[in-house]
């Protein structure tokens, strides 16, 4: 039996679009960090390209795993009362976005360190790239999550329906 919960759960389409928008933003950030630390555009672009393809799948999986964490679960974990907002008013809490950001950063920065290490063969530079990336992208990811929260769930489906009706 398929669960009907369109407001509280993000659709696969929304997760995919979030993944693509994040990858573009994140890869650009990684390329910039790698260039600043290596001074080599070729290495920076290569690390960015490898990261782009590896992490698009990883991000999708990460976002779907977070769909398994019940809404209000983070607030209950820290002993805060869960509001009884209607489905139309529901948004993820800031605490949930922070924990989601932290878990993603651990996964993603570890992947970047591995990619940089394999490409450069220099563990000191690879860990420097991963360390700078961890801090910079933690903030950028949080902002990305909050921006997506500003878009109502179902927005892209409605947009696609309008486009198909015009055709």
Q: Which residue has the higher pLDDT, 146 or 159?
A: 146
Looking at the predicted structure, is the pLDDT value of residue 1 above 50?
Answer: no
Number of folded domains in the chain?
Answer: 1
Provide the pLDDT for residue 9. 67
- Whole-model pTM? 0.67
pLDDT in tens, 97-140: 888 888 988 998 999 999 999 999 999 999 999 999 989 988 88
DSSP 8-state code for residue 89: G
* 11 within domain boundaries: no
* 1 within domain boundaries: no
Domain hosting 118: range is: 17-70+91-166
* 76 within domain boundaries: no
* 95 within domain boundaries: yes
Spatial CB neighbours of 122, under 8 Å, sequence gap ≥ 6: none
Share of the chain above pLDDT 90, in %: 34
Which pair of structure tokens corresponds to residue 164? Answer: 């198909």
* 41 within domain boundaries: yes
Q: What is the DSSP string of 130-156?
A: HHHHHHHHHHHHHHHHHHHHHSPTTHH
* 54 within domain boundaries: yes
Provide the pLDDT for residue 6. 43
* 116 within domain boundaries: yes
Which pair of structure tokens corresponds to residue 104? Answer: 């993603």
DSSP 8-state code for residue 1: -
Q: Which residue has the tokens 């407001």?
A: 7
pLDDT in tens, 94-103: 788 888 888 9
Provide the pLDDT for residue 110. 93
- CA–CA dist 70, 44 (Å, integer): 39
Q: What is the DSSP string of 23-69?
A: HHHHHHHHHHHHHHHH--HHHHHHHHHHHHHHHHHHHHHHHHHHTTS
Looking at the predicted structure, is the pLDDT value of residue 66 above 70?
Answer: yes
């Amino acid at each position: 039996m398929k669960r009907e919960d369109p407001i509280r759960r993000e659709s696969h389409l929304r997760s995919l679009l979030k993944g693509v928008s994040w990858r573009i933003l994140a890869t650009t950030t990684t390329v910039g960090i790698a260039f600043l630390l290596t001074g080599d555009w070729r290495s920076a672009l290569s690390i960015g390209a490898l990261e782009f393809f590896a992490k698009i799948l990883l991000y999708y999986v990460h976002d779907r795993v977070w769909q398994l964490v019940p809404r209000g679960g983070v607030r209950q974990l820290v002993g805060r009362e869960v509001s009884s907002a209607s489905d139309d008013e529901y948004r993820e809490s800031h605490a949930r976005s922070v924990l989601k950001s932290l878990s993603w950063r651990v996964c993603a920065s570890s992947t970047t360190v591995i990619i940089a290490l394999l490409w450069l063969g220099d563990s000191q530079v690879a860990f420097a790239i991963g360390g700078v990336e961890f801090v910079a992208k933690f903030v950028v990811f949080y902002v990305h999550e909050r921006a997506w929260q500003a878009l109502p769930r179902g927005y892209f489906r409605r947009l696609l329906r309008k486009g198909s009706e015009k055709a």
